[in-house]
Amino acid sequence: MMTNLFSSFDPSTNFNLSMNWLSPILGMLIIPSLFWLTPSRISILWLNIILTLHKEFKIISNNKGSTLIFISLFTYIMFNNFLGLFPYIFTSTSHMVMTLSLALPLWLSFMIYGWFNNTIHMFAHLVPQGTPPILMPFMVCIESISNIIRPGTLAIRLSANMIAGHLLMTLLGNTGPMLSIIFINFLIITQILLLLLESAVSIIQSYVFTILSTLYSSEVN
């Protein structure tokens, strides 16, 4: 019995194993070798998805070679989001430690590259075009703050969406023993619909995280 509703997001809750943080690398064990060796419908579908993402990221990002990084990031986040939908598997993307470790190095590398190589361009971004001279100091402060909080917003957006769906499913699931058979059937249908919704959220949030990272990288060039 869970003593705390948020204990489902505690790495030591499931079977008291602190090694649940190893769930992000479970893909190496789950994906069969035939997926990589022989052409199949799954590999062809995934290749089409990668090509579509490559074309979209190439339009946004000025550096065509950087699309591989963002496609890998999309794959990694989406896989971890999906893993959290399985029972007794720790949802790593629901923790700020995980999401910040993805967002902060990306943002920091963009800032270091931009300020060292395109200093004038980065200063120009602090003052939007057409700003009155009297408002320029305020706009510099606002743009600086909005730029600094970007990794935090990326991390919070991903973790909050993962937590919200799992909490809703946990709340509904805990009411099961107190319901009659008729209401349990409705509860099962609701849980299935929520599971489908969470599957869509897993893809959407990984796409949002990646597309925003691509937009941030395009601003430093």
d(CA 108, CA 151): 9
Report which of 152, 163, 150 is spatially closest to residue 201, judged by C-alpha positions: 163
Among 193, 32, 13, residue whose Cα is nearest residue 91: 13
Q: Write down the mean pLDDT value for the chain.
A: 80
Cα 60 from chain centroid (whole Å): 19
Condensed to tens digits (0 to 9), the pLDDT of residues 36-85 reads 666 778 778 888 888 998 888 888 876 666 788 898 889 889 888 888 88
pLDDT of residue 67: 85
SS3 180: coil
pLDDT band at 118 (very low <50, low <70, confident <90, very high): confident
Residue range of the domain that includes 207: 5-218
Strand ranges (E), 11-79: none
Q: What domain count does the chain have?
A: 1
Contacts of 46 (CB under 8 A, 6+ apart): none
State the pLDDT confidence band at 1, using cuts at 50, 70 and 90. Answer: very low
Share of the chain above pLDDT 70, in %: 83
Q: What is the pLDDT of residue 215?
A: 87
Residues 116 and 159 sit within 8 Å (Cβ to Cβ): no
181-214 confidence digits (pLDDT tens): 888 888 888 889 998 999 999 999 999 999 999 8
Judge whether residue 124 has pLDDT over 80: no
35: pLDDT strictly greater than 70 = no
Cα 41 to Cα 35: distance, rounded to the nearest angstrom: 9
Given pLDDT bands bounded at 50, 70 and 90, which one contains residue 88? confident
Alpha-carbon distance of 83 to 201, in angstroms, equals 13
14 pLDDT above the threshold of 80: no
Arithmetic mean of pLDDT, 90-103: 85
- The DSSP line for 142-177 is HHHHHHHTHHHHHHHHHHHHHHHHHHHHHHHHHTGG
